[in-house]
Structure 1
Amino acid sequence: MRIGLTYWNKIDHLATTISNVLHKLGHDVIPFEASTCIPGQLDVILAYGPFGTLAPLGKQLTSYAEATRPAFVLWLTEQLTNPRLPEWIQVPISDARSKIEQISYHREEDDQWDTNFLIKPLTSRANRFRYYGDIRWLHREGVLTVLAVGSDWIANNLCEHGFEPITAYIGSHPDWYANLKLERDIPVLWLGKLVTHRRKESLQQVRGDLQNRGVNLQVVDGVENPYIFGDERTKLLNRTKVIINLLRTEWDNHSLRFFLAIPNGCLVVSEPVFPHLPLVPGTHYVESPLDSMAERIIYYLNNEQERKVIVDRANQLITSELTMENSIRKILGKLPQNSRKKKWVKQNSI
């Protein structure tokens, strides 16, 4: 199939990895920026994230005749709003936020998409509501062929609201890990943006508790230390014994941290999380409330064999079953058989 793959930045590491998997599975991949015009003669468009606006893409898809419109897959990896919000609050706010985004973006004469400068300030807030509003909009317009989410719990939650999502974990990928056989001289690592006040306070608490016990926590957050990717990240994780998982909100899914860390030999110690992944606390990772997290970390630092048993068990599951390739196969397997390719070949033969 000819698959149009959106990318969100000029250097988009996740897009590159997804593209490599699609190529391996025998598909032609046509990358394009999400806020530009859709390339011609595509069978499928795959957008992930989203890490930016879906308005230009969605507005173009709704303008296609159904017979010529490519199938559209949204692989939702971003976080949604508080699940405790009742629908009578969540729906109107989400729909309004999505509508603001749609109104803001318009197509210029040179086929580029631009924003209304008066409305643009409104498009930088309430993105979690926008994500929900966008999938409601795309579903309502009949252009959302497959909705994939990286969490069992989120999939179940969306089913309760009239969607038919499939669970497709981001998964592991061989480009993200290696056994470098390095000395694990970093006892504890935090890797990722802090973003929210809650997460900053949580990190400060755990870090202080560890320091009081003589253990250093290394922070790579783009501020204290710069972000790293690719081989540098693999090397860092190969030097790490324990990586911690702290939540922005209690319902968030931060599974990518598990898929990056565990295949590189790190033990994940996490706050209690919702059942996003088929990973079992105590079997595949360690779960602990913040108040006792430092104590649990030190226990596993001092008991290397127990730590290794958990990591090896999780690594076997993640690298054999919970892979990106398996997820993409599952997503593509949900596409209808009447691909657009058959339609535009038929049109060309008239």
Structure 2
Amino acid sequence: MKDRVQAADHKRAITFCYRGFTANFGTRHMVASILEQAGHDVEQIKDGPADFSADSVVWIWGNTNWYPGLYAQLAAMPRAQRPLVVLWHTEPLPLPRAAGLPWPRLNWWETAKFVLRDSNATDVYTNYLVLRRWLKQGIPDVLVAATLGRCGFLSERGIAADWVPLGYESSYGRDLGLSREIDVLFLGAQDVPRRNRLLRGLRKKGIQIEAVGSYVDPSCWGEERTKLLNRTKILLNLARTPGEFPDLRLILGMANKALVLSEPIYQPDPFVAGRHFVSSSIGEMPETIRYYLAHETERVVISERAHRLITQDLTMEGSVRRILDLISMRANQRAVVDRPYEASAP
């Protein structure tokens, strides 16, 4: 058995599963590129079926509902012949009971996708129920959640998950030194009823907000997005549901040195309200916006501190290394005896 134990830097054959969106179909995912740069043999796919062996790794990004073909293939395989499967769950789940917030109601189109079991659905209930179906089949071997809130929800249901936050990568942006003539920007999907209601309320109180975002418009991604955020003083976070932690939106703002102003977030670690972003209730948000627009020095201090955190201490390379360590631990467990996955100690 000792000969089968693998070193942490063991080079692997990895099938990286990333569905993508209309605006970025065909692009190489940053995690796949990081893995390749580390010497791993990486094939990126949108869904299964795919060719892999029992000693290879399948790395899933996002949530399980996006990959019905892969699920069908893995579930049909004898467990001893399956590759080691890791899921980095980056999509929302319900908040844990400890958050003290009610679970969200789905809007009409989310409800339709839920009922139809649409593989494009990514509401909190679809994400959990499909993940539970995978877990009943013993998949994945390593479950990683990108936020502490998602780890807490899973823990309440007896599901072990490791916390590895999303990290900064250069495609998320950089400081271009542009003039910041946009006072307040919201960047995100424009078809969320709660969000649109909150935006209307802020505008009625005299706040001018530029709102953009699309899964199909390339101008909302890549270098054009970086330029837009570099022209922005305050990036507003209004979530789909109260308490949700949209980690990527915060990282985008911080990468481009826009001050992130958010409604309250449940467990926003590793970010700290007041140090890396500003937290405000919806009712107090108009005054908070006016304050930071009028106090540039305070705005810049927070945005600079946040930028240093993500570019120096919270990188995507670091997060990928952490998951590779978890993969090595699980691979060595399987080499000794095929036993249930146990999350590592915090």
- TM-score (structure 2 length as normaliser): 0.80
Deviation, 1:237, is 0.8
Q: 1:291 is aligned with what amino acid?
A: G
Match of 2:117 in 1: 123
Match of 2:49 in 1: 37
Question: Which string of whole-angstrom CA distances, capped at 9 and with x for unpartnered residues, describes residues 35-55 of structure 1?
Answer: x31223371111111285333
Match of 1:68 in 2: 81
Deviation, 1:56, is 2.0
Question: Which string of whole-angstrom CA distances, capped at 9 and with x for unpartnered residues, describes residues 255-291 of structure 1?
Answer: 1011111121100000011013221111111111112
Aligned residues: 304
1:320–1:165 Cα change, 3 Å: same
Checking the alignment, whether the CA contact within 8 Å between 1:43 and 1:339 is kept in structure 2 is no
Question: Which stretch shifts more, 127-136 or 140-149?
Answer: 127-136
Match of 1:281 in 2: 273
1:133-212 aligned within 5 A: 133-211=129-207
Checking the alignment, whether the CA contact within 8 Å between 2:95 and 2:244 is kept in structure 1 is no
1:73–1:153 Cα change, 3 Å: same
1:59 matched to 2:72: yes
- TM-score (structure 1 length as normaliser): 0.79
Deviation, 1:222, is 3.5
Deviation, 1:210, is 3.3
Question: Which string of whole-angstrom CA distances, capped at 9 and with x for unpartnered residues, describes residues 293-337 of structure 1?
Answer: 121111111111111111111111111222211111111111145
Could you tell me how far apart the structure 1 residues matched to 2:115 and 2:272 are? 43
1:1-350 aligned within 5 A: 1-9=12-20, 11-12=24-25, 16-34=29-47, 36-41=48-53, 43-50=56-63, 52-81=65-94, 83=96, 122-124=116-118, 127-211=123-207, 216-222=208-214, 227-336=219-328, 339=331
Deviation, 1:140, is 2.1
Q: 2:317 is aligned with what amino acid?
A: E
Checking the alignment, whether the CA contact within 8 Å between 2:61 and 2:87 is kept in structure 1 is yes
**Alignment gaps of 5+ in structure 2:** 1-11, 104-112, 336-346
Checking the alignment, whether the CA contact within 8 Å between 1:209 and 1:294 is kept in structure 2 is yes
Identity of aligned residues (%): 33
Deviation, 1:63, is 2.0
Deviation, 1:65, is 2.6
Could you tell me how far apart the structure 2 residues matched to 1:71 and 1:227 are? 37
Checking the alignment, whether the CA contact within 8 Å between 2:168 and 2:315 is kept in structure 1 is yes
Question: Which string of whole-angstrom CA distances, capped at 9 and with x for unpartnered residues, describes residues 123-154 of structure 1?
Answer: 13684323212222222222211111111122
Checking the alignment, whether the CA contact within 8 Å between 1:262 and 1:268 is kept in structure 2 is yes
Could you tell me how far apart the structure 2 residues matched to 1:77 and 1:15 are? 18
Question: Which string of whole-angstrom CA distances, capped at 9 and with x for unpartnered residues, describes residues 207-235 of structure 1?
Answer: 23234xxxx31111349x98511111111
Larger Rg: 1
Q: 2:233 is aligned with what amino acid?
A: K
